Structure 1
Amino acid sequence: MTTFASLADLSAAVGTELGTSEWHIIDQDRVNLFAEATGDHQWIHIDPDRAKDSPFGGTIAHGYLTLSLIPVLAKECYSVDGVRMALNYGSEKVRFPAPLPVGTAVRATAELLSAAEVPGGVQAVVRFTISSETGPKPHCVAETITRFYAA
């Protein structure tokens, strides 16, 4: 994990890898809770018996569940000291190249793509690649936009 002492230090790190998170297992309970929260009860996510006969051989996590892991994974990749607050400003180029089988452990790697001054702080674009040891393709690749405001 990388810890930046200031927004200036963060800005100076454009083009570098920020860190890799710990492994997190995506279990069926988490998938079911996500389905309940979002109303997405598609059988491929919540019905293990039916999903056994699918092309995936079992249930898979929702793509948006995988994307929603970024805040917890990001905290394990990098931090910035000397900020009053950090706000999620959006995402760009979100992709789900490979399905994520339930029961799989995932982790994220973060790369700082850009950092630009905004009133009161810095807007950073970080590419998160969420992958596992189960296959050659990542399960999610997303460029997130975060605004960090100076303390």
Structure 2
Amino acid sequence: MNEVWKKPPVSLEIYRAMVGKEVGVSSWHLIDQSRINVYADVIEDHQFIHVDPERAKKETAFGNTVAHGFLTMSLLSIMSYEVMPAIQGTTMGVNYGFDRLRFLSPVRAGSRVRGRFVLTEATLRKPKELQSRTNVTVEIEGEQKPALVADWLGLIYFA
């Protein structure tokens, strides 16, 4: 098991006290051509801007292949495991969706990205169901403009 999942859980009270604060920043994650190719195979999207470095260099303003936006978005899961605390007494957490998601900059092959997480809401919808809202910014190492920004919703269930 990955060490990031072994952090001790926090109480619901401590979790809710984090609202309005930056919870943390993940480690850097490499988005290399191999990862892009595997993702392209999984989702069956082999557009040349993702999988053909020579053509992408010649025919795009990117100068290189770029990651699928949804590949970058999918890394939010591992980034959140590194940063967001588990809550005592939970049985599971599920994605509820996004209220806002914008891809602001392309992530070129060979770049590293990391997630910056700010908890903006933690509301009990039912006695055993918490809705969380987290503002996430995925930064690209060495670049001013982020890859994406999102308001990510989750539901956390208690025993």
TM class, shorter-length:
over 0.9
For 2:153 and 2:8, locate their aligned partners in 1 and report how far apart those are by CA, in whole Å: 18
Q: Match for residue 22 of structure 1?
A: 27
1:103 matched to which residue of 2? Answer: 110
* Structure 1 residue ranges (4+ consecutive) displaced by more than 3 angstroms after TM superposition: 1-4
Out of 79, 103, 108, the position equivalent to 2:85 is 79
1:58 to 45, 57, 64: 64
Taking only the aligned residue pairs, the percentage that are identical comes to 38
Distance 1:6 1:71 in 2: 22
Q: What is the aligned counterpart of 1:93 among 100, 117, 139?
A: 100
Displacement of 1:81 in angstroms is: 3.1
TM-score, scaled relative to structure 1: 0.94
Distance 1:3 1:20, change over 3 A: farther
How far 1:4 sits from its partner (Å)?
5.4
CA-CA distance at 1:8 after TM superposition: 2.3
Query: Contact conserved, 2:136 with 2:151, CA < 8 A, in 1?
Result: yes
**Is the aligned partner of 1:48 residue 2:56?**
no
Provide, for residues 104-131 of structure 1, a one-character-per-residue CA deviation record: whole Å limited to 9, x for no partner.
0111100011111022131100011101
1:140 equivalent among 144, 148, 153: 148
**Alignment coverage as a number of residue pairs:** 151
Q: So what's the TM-score if we normalise by structure 2?
A: 0.89
Are the equivalent residues in 2 in contact too, given 1:67–1:142 (CA < 8 A)? no
